[in-house]
Structure 1
Amino acid sequence: MGSWHLEIFKMAVYIGFPVGLFYCFNQPYFFESWMMEKRAKIFPPTDPEVMKIFDELKRKMELKQEQEWIAAQETRKV
């Protein structure tokens, strides 16, 4: 069996090795290119034509909702 010096060394290795690996391999530059690729896939650049269609659809839905609200208010008055 080893002495207390060996036990302290083993404990330092048990704690220091995973912490050291985590520090070395969890640096941002390892993930930067990977994250940029994922971000480009998930959030593609906006297309002006698509945004125009989306705004038109949003305007139509808001107008429809407003008309329904006005109709509900008129029936409530009667």
Structure 2
Amino acid sequence: MGVKLEVFRMAIYLTFPVTMFWISNQAEWFEDYVVLRKRELWPPEKEGQRQEIEEFKERIRKQREEKFLRVAQQNS
């Protein structure tokens, strides 16, 4: 029974990694799991979103400049 047991064990040792490799390289699985999960975590930007961010940055910059000018005028 020693040889049969060793052949069975070797078959199990080889079957598991080959099966996992085959499953993980299926295009449908990749699309369903990985790509959809990536889009869930990092959704694509909307067209107006970048412009809104730039406008917000500009407003904050102007507010800071005005604040610094007021402080500089009070200290003069």
Do both share a fold (TM > 0.5)?
Answer: yes
Which residue of 1 is the match for residue 47 of structure 2? Answer: 47
- TM-score of the aligned structures, taking structure 2 as reference length: 0.59
Percent identity at matched positions?
A: 6
RMSD: 3.1
Q: Which runs of 5+ in 1 are unaligned?
A: none
How many residue pairs get aligned? The number is 71
TM-score (norm: length of structure 1): 0.58
How many Å separate the matches in 2 of 1:33 and 1:52? 31
Deviations 1:3-52 (A, max 9, x none): 2x11321221221121121111010513343244444454234223x322
Alpha-carbon distance in 1 for matches of 2:36, 2:60: 34
Structure 2 residue runs without a partner (length 5+): none
Alignment partner of 1:6 out of 4, 7, 10: 4
Distance in 2 separating the partners of 1:64 and 1:10: 75
**2:11 maps to 1:25:** no
Residues 1:59 and 2:51 are matched in the alignment: no
